[in-house]
Amino acid sequence: MSDSPINPPIPSDLTAQLSNLTPQQQAFLAGYLWAESQRGGVPAAVATNGAAPAAAPKRPITVISASATGNAAGVAKKLVAKLEAESLDVKLTSAGSYKARQLPKEDIVIIATSTQGDGEPPEEGVPLHSYLFGKKAPKLDGLSFAVVGLGDSSYPQFCQCGIDFDTKLGELGGERLLDRVDADVDYEAVTDEWIDNMVAKLKEVAGGSSAAVAAAPAQAAEAASESAFNKENPFTATLLNSHPLVTDDAGRMVNHIEIDLDGSGLQYQVGDVLGVVTNNTAEVVDEVLELNGLSGDESIEGRKGSTSIRQALTEQSDLNQLTPKFISDYASTAENKELNALLEDKEKLQSYQAWTPAVGLMRDYPQKLDAQRLFDGLKPLSPRLYSIASSQEEVGEEVHLCVARVDIEHDDKTHNGSASGLLCDRLEEGDEVQVFVEHNPRFRLPQNNDTPIIMIGPGTGIAPFRAFMQQRRADDAQGKNWLFFGNRHFRGDFLYQAEWIEYRDQGLLNDFSLAWSRDGEEKVYVQDKIRENAQQFWEWLQQGAHIYVCGDASRMAKDVEKAILDVIAEQGNKDEDDAAEYLNELREADRYQRDVY
């Protein structure tokens, strides 16, 4: 008589076949058969003589990334890969693709988010953020969640979007699986530890018997199509051209930049951004070393192993942007009453931090730091990202940028931005520069070339719209095009003026509305032009137009959005809430896209 708990017993030939399966195949088959039996798809007699009860099915996990430049998305992908390796039931989605009203139906949600501008969510995370903080926010009593935030501690609202999501999900009834983690610019070590802790926790609370979830074919295809060059392995390109776009009396330097990508295999779409690897000048590094009484040869432990303090300051440390933590740590041993008083005044501290480079702090409140402490306190030097101002349909193996040099005036000295100074000043034609492409799928032209578009980009925010127009011309797009552009003066500040006039004369640019803030008695900005053209703006929206905004996130983007809401309310006869809902619907339909920074 057989000792098998299954009656009738499994046929011997099937048993032989099962013994030939790999452990992964056996795990898959076990999960598959369990799921089918729960649906009634695999009829089977259930033994009554001591069969072990089946394990509970796994709890589904949804990982949502809300990313501006791809860092948060990268963290989410790394987490998902590790969860899949543990055979957990997990799916990955971007916040831009996620339907917020699905949230109450979820079991476990993990959010990896960045923060942009003045504590705002990244563009693709706005609908989810608005839903959670709106009047229709759901009860989430059955939800388990965790949040990791990425940010930049040189900004006052450090990781604010992560704080928002974490706080609100808890307030709405969700159960926090792990405490939120906030990661700075040099985020990898922090997020790697969080991922390991998250995997351990999810194995504990979400385990079961279902099979490992295979990687989505789309994700695999996307990974396979990536160039060999990226942020971790940038391409050494050649500067082809750098020339000014403004007159000498414009008040600041703005250059058109052309870079040769030949041989890189790098592909970009209009709307993408270019990362530029930068470093600090020998002059600035020498001054920092001198102020701290260092020769530059002192050995320290850098972010890539042992190196000299001179090399680390040149390649790894941001000597322009201070963080509140560095100022506080510096003050702890400076023994300076004025600096201590500055720390007590939040408004003055923020202003000082924004307009003072690291060398300025050391000059204002001198003390000597040892090499390792100096390096450890400074913010990591990150690549700078620039909106691409060209279409490969027109420029081939080149990429064009529109770059304004950042000038910080402190203590009667001018300090240039490390990357903008490199591109506008220090590099000569033929010099090398390391670059990589960051894709920006939330800033794309309409798929239908007949769709009208409204482009709003003051200052260097005009860059992606130059690329848009090149692409529209290459595609022979029939959709109407309307540009809102603003700057200080018409004479000397109208970036790419000849090109825009040519587009207008060719009939490709149907309208442009120009705002010059210093040419008249009253300052005029692009948001004023939106209100001035309210009826036409609304008519274009009724015709299906897509709205694009590029430029400053802290003020311009907010003022422009307020103007758009005013137009919707006035022309659409809507109250404030209905106007906001209408704009959110445009955003969710990819008809309102922003590339703001």
Annotated ligand binding at 161? The verdict is no
471 labelled as ligand-binding?
no
Residue 525, annotated ligand binder? yes
Q: Tell the residue number behind the tokens 């996130």, with chain if given.
A: 553
Which run of H or E residues covers position 241?
Answer: strand 235-244
Long-range CB pairs of 16-25 (<8 Å, 24+ gap) are 24/212
Indicate the Cα dihedral angle 350, 352, 356, 361, nearest 10°. -120
Q: Is 269 labelled as part of a ligand binding site?
A: no
Annotation-wise, does 345 bind a ligand?
Answer: no
To the question of whether residue 484 is assigned a binding role by annotation, the answer is: no
Is 261 annotated to bind a ligand? Reply is no
Of the chain, the end-to-end C-alpha distance in Å amounts to 75
Q: Is 131 annotated as belonging to a binding site?
A: no
594 is in an annotated binding site: no
Torsion of the alpha carbons at 164, 165, 168 and 172, rounded to the nearest 10: 180
Element spanning 91, H or E:
strand 90-94
Does the annotation flag 154 for ligand binding? yes
Q: Which of 182, 153, 232 is closest to 434 using CA atoms?
A: 232
E strand map for 432-533: 432-438, 453-456, 481-487, 511-516
Residue 352 labeled ligand binder: no
Is residue 387 annotated as involved in ligand binding?
yes
Q: Has 242 been labeled as part of a binding site?
A: no
160 annotated ligand-binding residue? no
How far, in Å, CA of 469 to CA of 460, rounded? 15
Map tokens 């959110």 to a residue. 584
Neighbours of 325 (CB within 10 A): 14
Report the DSSP beta bridge partners of residue 301.
306
554 known member of a binding site:
no
The beta-carbon contacts of 196-203 under 8 Å, at least 24 apart in sequence, are 196/82, 198/79, 198/110, 198/146, 198/148, 199/79, 199/82, 199/83, 199/86, 201/146, 201/177, 202/61, 202/83, 202/86, 202/88, 202/108, 202/177, 203/86, 203/88
114 a known binding residue?
yes
Residue 377 marked as a ligand binder: no
Is 487 annotated to bind a ligand? Reply is no
H helix runs in 172-302, sequence order: 188-206, 217-225, 282-291
2 carries a ligand binding annotation: no
- Known binder of ligand: residue 152? yes
Do the annotations mark residue 220 as ligand-binding? no
Ligand-binding annotation for 156, yes or no, is yes
Instruction: For residue 270, say whether it is annotated as part of any ligand binding site.
Output: no
To the question of whether residue 75 is assigned a binding role by annotation, the answer is no
E strand map for 537-582: 546-551
551 bridge partner residues: 596
Local structure of 546: helix, strand or coil:
strand
Helix, strand, coil: what percent of the chain each, to 5?
A: 40, 20, 40
239 annotated as belonging to a binding site for a ligand: no
85 annotated as ligand-binding:
no
What token pair was written down for 366? Answer: 């001198």
Would you say 390 is a known binding-site residue? no
Q: Is 68 annotated as a binding residue?
A: yes
For residue 376, say whether it is annotated as part of any ligand binding site. no
Q: Is 176 part of any known ligand binding site? A: no
Annotated binding residue 527 = yes
Q: Is 417 annotated as a binding residue?
A: yes
Under DSSP, is residue 437 helix (H, G, I), strand (E, B) or coil?
Answer: strand
Distance (Å, whole) CA 72 – CA 124: 12
**Binding site annotation covers 87?**
no
- Tokens representing residue 325 in the block: 């933590």
Burial label for 570, CB within 10 Å (0-12, 13-18, 19+), is middle
Tell the burial category of 66 from Cβ atoms under 10 Å away from its Cβ (0-12, 13-18, 19+): buried
Q: Is 531 annotated as a binding residue?
A: no
Going from the C-alpha of 536 to that of each of 71, 320, 533, 544, the distances in angstroms are: 39, 44, 6, 13
- 10 Å CB burial of residue 182 (0-12, 13-18, 19+) is buried
Cβ count within 10 A of residue 287: 16
150 is in an annotated binding site: yes
Q: Is 523 annotated as a binding residue?
A: yes
419 is in an annotated binding site: yes
597 annotated binding-site participant: yes
Adjacency order of strands within the sheet including 254-260 = 384-387, 273-276, 432-438, 235-244, 254-260, 398-404
Question: Which residues are known binding-site members for FMN?
Answer: 67-72, 114-117, 150-159
- Enumerate the known binding-site residues: 67-72, 114-117, 150-159, 354, 384-387, 417-420, 517-518, 523-527, 559, 597
In the annotated binding site for FAD, the residues are: 354, 384-387, 417-420, 597
Binding-site positions for NADP(+) read 517-518, 523-527, 559
